Amino acid sequence: MLCPDLHWQRQSPEQNTLETDVQVHADAVRASWSVSDEKLEALRKATQEDVTLQTALEYTRSGWPQYKEDVKLAAREFYSVKDELSDHDGLLVRGSRIVIPFSHRKDILGKIHDGHQGIQKCRERANQCVWWSGMGQEIKEMVGRCRHCLESKPTQRKEPLITSKLPEYPFQKVGVDLLAFRGENYLSYVDYYSRFIEIEQLSRETAEEVIGKLKDLFSRHGVPEIVVSDNGTQFTSEKFQDFRHSWGFTHVTSSPRYPQSNGEAERSVQTSKTILKQSDVALALLSYRATPIPSLGASPAELAFGRQLRTRPPSLPKSLIPQTPVAKDFKERDRQAKQQQKENNDRRHGVQSLPILKPGETTVKIKIDGKDGWRQSGRVVEQCAIRSYMVQTPTGILRRNRRHLRRASTGEEVQIPKFPAAGDSGGAETVEELELPDPPDVKTVPVCTRSGREVKLPLRFQ
Ligand SMILES: [Zn+2]
């Protein structure tokens, strides 16, 4: 590897003539280069064949003109550093760095990038031993084109949380998700207005089973206007689409591979799992529904039905009589709670907003959380929701969250698929996140990790 050490000794003034000085300096520089004689000889030969470097060497030996305009065009790029140049047995040297002839630059660039360090590190490495005019820029371009580096770029940071608008009334908008727990499958159903949760056990994981459970839920709470789910096959099936049409609701899906954007349903899954872990699931569910959400000042039951649920601790009959919750106050509390949650989230994740991608022109690389590599390439067909895009890839059209797309760099290898006619993208809408309260406050059975270790629950769960 061509990389001399920088630490040679400067000569003290009393060490005589300029000539000796130069010679000592040159020897010190040479001694510090960990370059084989063979390699140096090759560089020397290439320098002789490099018109630009030869011109600069001639000036370095015989003295540079005073004005830049008087320097031959070939060597003008060296004018600003002329005082640092020296001739070392036919090699042009700037300070302690070998000036690399044009024919060797590509090879040297490759070596500088050994180990696939980033642009800054490569520049620092190069600055220790070699130089040519425009080297910094060439390093930047080389790293920017490196396939390995492009594919192994880290996942983009999370974007700021989008806070959701509170629906107008209970069970207007609901989130649905499937979850597996201790070998059983469940459907979790959450109301975006009240955070009221329903958990239904499924005997099978089919679309029919899911539709049957949803019909039960609709019969209890009314048909929602909007149902949010992920892209599970039960929800994308033809049967589900038929169900949607005949019962008259809008179906919104989250980006595949990006369930975070189905935040409400995802969080209700977490809450549901906490409830399912408890020794008496029904009691846990009742407790959750009857417990006020601190930031909202009312319980899911109060918000959903306008009355408190009778639980085991004694309560005044008055509190069980239906009354309209103070909707205005609740809406303001909801807004504040979501704002607070957004600030916490954005701070915690060090979020960054990603620029919007334009359909048609933008060639992108695609990466998925948990998988390595920005391998797949595609072209943006259209934006189908906030931060969600339909992308044409060589194997078909995919929907992806903005965080899993990045613009392809100039010169980056991409397989550009044929641009299709604007197809049906499903007419999806914005998917938003919402806060769910803490899990219920009831007695629990011991919770174990996979390795069998018992997990100590926080005091409020005990
Ligand atoms: Zn690289």
CB burial class (10 A; 0-12, 13-18, 19+) of residue 347? exposed
CA angle centred on 387, ends 386 and 388, rounded to 5°: 95
How many angstroms is it from 174 CA to the middle of ligand 1? Answer: 46
Q: What is the pLDDT of residue 400?
A: 85
Which backbone phi and psi does 283 adopt, to 5 degrees? -65, -40
User: pLDDT tens digits, residue range 48-93?
Assistant: 999 999 999 999 999 999 999 999 998 999 999 999 999 988 999 9
How do beta strands 184-191 and 197-202 pair? antiparallel
**Mean pLDDT of the 391-413 span:** 81
User: Contact 202/187 with Cβ under 8 angstroms?
Assistant: yes
Contacts of 215 (CB under 8 A, 6+ apart): 247
Closest Cα to residue 116, out of 145, 157, 138, 156?
Answer: 145
How many angstroms is it from 123 CA to the middle of ligand 1? Answer: 13
- What does the DSSP assignment read for 35-49? --HHHHHHHHHHHHH
How many angstroms is it from 114 CA to the middle of ligand 1? Answer: 8
Output the average pLDDT for the chain: 77
How many angstroms is it from 30 CA to the middle of ligand 1? Answer: 30
How many angstroms is it from 61 CA to the middle of ligand 1? Answer: 39
Q: What is the pLDDT of residue 315?
A: 66
C-alpha 30/C-alpha 363 separation (Å) is: 48
User: pLDDT tens digits, residue range 341-390?
Assistant: 888 878 877 777 788 888 876 778 887 666 667 878 888 888 887 788 88
More confident residue, 258 or 93: 93
Residue 110: how many other CB atoms lie within 10 Å: 11
Q: What tokens were used for 224?
A: 């929602």
Alpha helix positions (H), 63-145? 105-112, 119-127, 135-145
Would the pTM of this model clear 0.85, i.e. be above it?
no
How many angstroms is it from 303 CA to the middle of ligand 1? Answer: 56
